[in-house]
Each structure stands twice: as structure tokens, then as C-alpha cells.
Amino acid sequence: MANIALIVGTTLGSSEYVADEMAEQLSQLNHHSEVFIDPQLAQLNDFSVWIIVSSTHGAGDLPDNIVPFYKQLMLEMPDLNGIQHALCAIGDSNYDTFC
């Protein structure tokens, strides 16, 4: 059983819906997961797997809700060597700046 953080970047809510569905499926596989809409590094200490579920908007910009988390990562530069991670990119790949 893994502890999985689902870190959501969303503008219109689609990424949150995808993360909620992932959480449900992970639960059926006996994993513990939690969805974070406004993540903080301190909240993620107990999670060995991070799945970032995010869209982009405009010219490939991050959704507003995940910008503070991005800035926190860049300022604190935590050691993430023990964290497994994946990205689920939501959007239209016809755009040059998709995710």
C-alpha cells in the first residue's frame, strides 16, 4: 500500500475531477491517496508518491491555484530524491505550449 498525493493544478475544475477519479481507483487498489487543491510542502511529508494532475492555460501558464506551491518548491528547494512522481497533463495537445 502506497501513500499517494494527488496534487491538482486547475483553472476550470477538470483536473480536480480527474484527480478525484484517480483517488477512487487507487482506493480500490488498497492505496491511500489524498487530493490537494492548495498543496503545501509540509502537508506532503507522509507521501512517497506524488501525482501532479494539471492543466495549463493561456500560453502554457500554470493554473493560479498551483502557482504558490511551485514558488514554494523553487524557494525551498527540498530534497525530493525519495519521492516517486508522475504527471497527468490535461488539455489540448494541439497548442504549441500544451503542458
- Block mean pLDDT (10 aa), the chain, length 99: 95 93 97 96 95 86 93 93 93 73
Contacts of 5 (CB under 8 A, 6+ apart): 33, 34, 36, 39, 43, 44, 47, 49, 50, 51
Q: 32 forms bridges with which residues in the sheet? A: 3
What is the structure's pLDDT at 4?
Answer: 98
Residue 19 grid coordinates:
484527480
List the one residue out of 17, 18, 2 whose CA is nearest residue 85.
2
The rounded distance, in Å, linking the Cα atoms of 38 and 76 is 17
- For the chain, the structural domain boundaries read 3-90
- Global pTM value: 0.91
Q: May I ask the CATH class of domain 3-90?
A: alpha beta
Q: What's phi and psi for 38, nearest 5 deg?
A: -125, 70
